[in-house]
A and B are shown apart, each in its own frame.
Chain A
Amino acid sequence: MNMNSTLRSLLRALWPLLLAAQAVSVSAAPPADADPAPAPATAPPPANAATGMASSPSNDAAAGTRALDEQIQGLKKDVVDLNKDLFVLEEELLFPANTQVAVFVSVDVGDFFALDSVTLKIDNHDVSNYLYTPREVSALLKGGVQRLYVGNLKAGQHELVALFNGKGPHDRDYRRAANIRFEKGVGAKYLELKITDHQRAQQPEFEIKDWE
């Protein structure tokens, strides 16, 4: 846990430095219109010279604004890319593949169960207690898959228990549990909590799938 917090603080400390470096590199880069290469002797005359019109200050200002906009957009894209890279780096550092365990939630149909919360226990320790808003449930019903938990486990046998709370058939409070014993090997382990409808029994079904 200490290592995790150290890594987090290191990444947080690095973030402004990386941003500053990005800003410096952008400001140090020559502007697009300041091309140092000399124009060839046979270079065509500028368009406004060909048309015989002088460049107006408003046109220059518009061009300047456009160039600045492009620079800002480029900078934003770089920041987003950097953020993505940092996120991936953080994930790799905090949850290395050899110890990583991730639990996902998916809902199919959902006519017989309205999800309210999921409590997750691994080896009898509470690791997650997630409350769902109607918007999140709606996203799951549209086919979304939520990563409910990501953590580290050592190799060996483990038990996962998921407690589902919500409204069942006839709008009754419904509480069900599902469990799975799984073997954590060398690679990352992915488990999926699947909530489906059992049409014949008119009941929801809770299943935990082990993605090999």
Chain B
Amino acid sequence: MMVILIGATAALAATSAPNGLIGRPAPDFVLPAVAGSNVRLSEFRGQPVMISFWSSRCSVCAAQLTAMDRYYGTYRSAGLIVLGVSVEDDPQRAIDYAQAHAASFPLLLDKAKSVGRAFGIERLPTTVLIDRSGQVRFLHSDDRPGDPSYVAQIRALLDDRPERSDR
């Protein structure tokens, strides 16, 4: 009974807290990339953006980054932008991890964790999908990298179709 109660509380915390961002403009940020130049979110206005917050300490983040890489490979030609934001304490660990999991999309370093705070990140990995107008449309704070709903939501953003999230 206690386990169910704790599980239900955790699930509620995971789904209710980040929902405050859905339907609101995504907080703008500029972050240095592991390789390459700095990246500012607002410069991608007009294109759907998928951001994944990750850390090398998170066990499922590698699978999440692999899935993101797959989505990026499939939909980049359609205009999808994918960004990985590391909320690592030690930036060198993030750089080593990023080099080991060579991703084709930009991996950014949020050393001060200010971006993580602005997006209200409480769990890792958390994935945020932003539409062409810069509004947060979907937010996943679970560990289901292969979830087919990602593809449906990416396609919805690319088609610019309004689709309500139940999460």
Spell out A's residues near B (CB within 8 Å): 116-117, 131-136
**Distance (whole angstroms) from the CB of B112 to the closest CB of chain A:** 10
B32 contacts chain A at the CB level, 8 A cutoff: yes
When distances are taken between beta carbons in the complex, the residues of chain B under 8 Å from A136 are: 40
**Distance (whole angstroms) from the CB of B36 to the closest CB of chain A:** 9
When distances are taken between beta carbons in the complex, the residues of chain B under 8 Å from A116 are: 32, 37-38
When distances are taken between beta carbons in the complex, the residues of chain A under 8 Å from B43 are: 133, 135
When distances are taken between beta carbons in the complex, the residues of chain B under 8 Å from A132 are: 38
When distances are taken between beta carbons in the complex, the residues of chain A under 8 Å from B37 are: 116, 133-134
A116 to B38, CA, bound (A): 8
Spell out B's residues near A (CB within 8 Å): 30-32, 37-40, 43
A16 to B37, CA, bound (A): 39
A136 to B30, CA, bound (A): 12
A131 to B40, CA, bound (A): 9
Nearest first, the 6 A-B pairs at minimum CB distance are A131-B38, A131-B30, A133-B40, A134-B37, A133-B38, A135-B43
Q: Which partner residue on chain A sits nearest B30 by CB separation?
A: A131
When distances are taken between beta carbons in the complex, the residues of chain B under 8 Å from A117 are: 38
A132 to B40, CA, bound (A): 8
When distances are taken between beta carbons in the complex, the residues of chain A under 8 Å from B39 are: 133
Q: Which partner residue on chain B sits nearest A135 by CB separation?
A: B43
**Distance (whole angstroms) from the CB of B46 to the closest CB of chain A:** 13
When distances are taken between beta carbons in the complex, the residues of chain B under 8 Å from A134 are: 37-38
When distances are taken between beta carbons in the complex, the residues of chain A under 8 Å from B40 are: 131, 133, 135-136
When distances are taken between beta carbons in the complex, the residues of chain B under 8 Å from A131 are: 30-32, 38, 40
A196 to B39, CA, bound (A): 24
A-B residue pairs in contact (CB < 8 Å), sample of 6: A116-B32, A116-B38, A132-B38, A134-B37, A135-B43, A136-B40
A133 to B37, CA, bound (A): 6
Extra contacts besides A116-B32, A131-B31, A136-B40 (6): CB < 8 Å = A131-B40, A133-B30, A133-B43, A134-B38, A135-B40, A135-B43
